[in-house]
Amino acid sequence: EPEVTQTPSHQVTQMGQEVILRCVPISNHLYFYWYRQILGQKVEFLVSFYNNEISEKSEIFDDQFSVERPDGSNFTLKIRSTKLEDSAMYFCASSSAGKAYEQYFGPGTRLTVT
């Protein structure tokens, strides 16, 4: 069964450094998403991406964040200058054009900012 994959599974970075989290969505999916879950808090929506542009973003997704689909298979989340409060589990998700309401999640990348 096709699934969303994410790399790395765990990333440790120093405050102020740039980090790129990578995702490979399910191959025929056209909608892509990033969510995050800070330890002890709810899963929060960050951004959705369709047709090479951001279709919706939350208040969390400020200028420090950017997303890109650099090729036909990868979807990335970049955090330009990480802060301690960016430490969280980041989940990528994708959905198909016909069923955009069915979002399938990857296993997550745990980001630790020290």
Partner 1 sequence: GEDVEQSLFLSVREGDSSVINCTYTDSSSTYLYWYKQEPGAGLQLLTYIFSNMDMKQDQRLTVLLNKKDKHLSLRIADTQTGDSAIYFCAEKMDSSYKLIFGSGTRLLVRP
61 binds partner 1 (CB under 8 A): no
CA distances from 108 to 4, 8, 21, 35 (A): 10, 9, 10, 9
Q: Among residues 98, 114, 106, which one has the least CA distance to residue 11?
A: 114
Shortest distance (Å) from residue 17 CB to partner 1: 25
Task: Please state whether 43 falls in left (phi above 0), alpha (psi between -120 and 50) or beta.
Answer: beta
Based on the shown chain and the rule CB under 8 A, indicate whether residue 55 belongs to the binding site for partner 1.
Answer: yes
Tell me how crowded residue 34 is: count the other CB atoms within 10 A of its CB: 26
Does 108 interact with partner 1 (rule: CB under 8 A)?
Answer: yes
Part of the chain binding partner 1 (CB under 8 A), chosen from 13-21, 28-36, 68-76, 80-88: 28-36
Contact call for residue 100 and partner 1 (CB under 8 A): yes
Query: Near partner 1 by CB under 8 A, which window of 12-20, 43-51, 67-75, 79-87?
Result: 43-51
Residue 32 and residue 46: Cα distance in Å, rounded? 11
Given the rule CB under 8 A, which residues bind partner 1? 4, 6, 31, 33, 35, 42-45, 48, 55-56, 58, 91, 93, 100-108
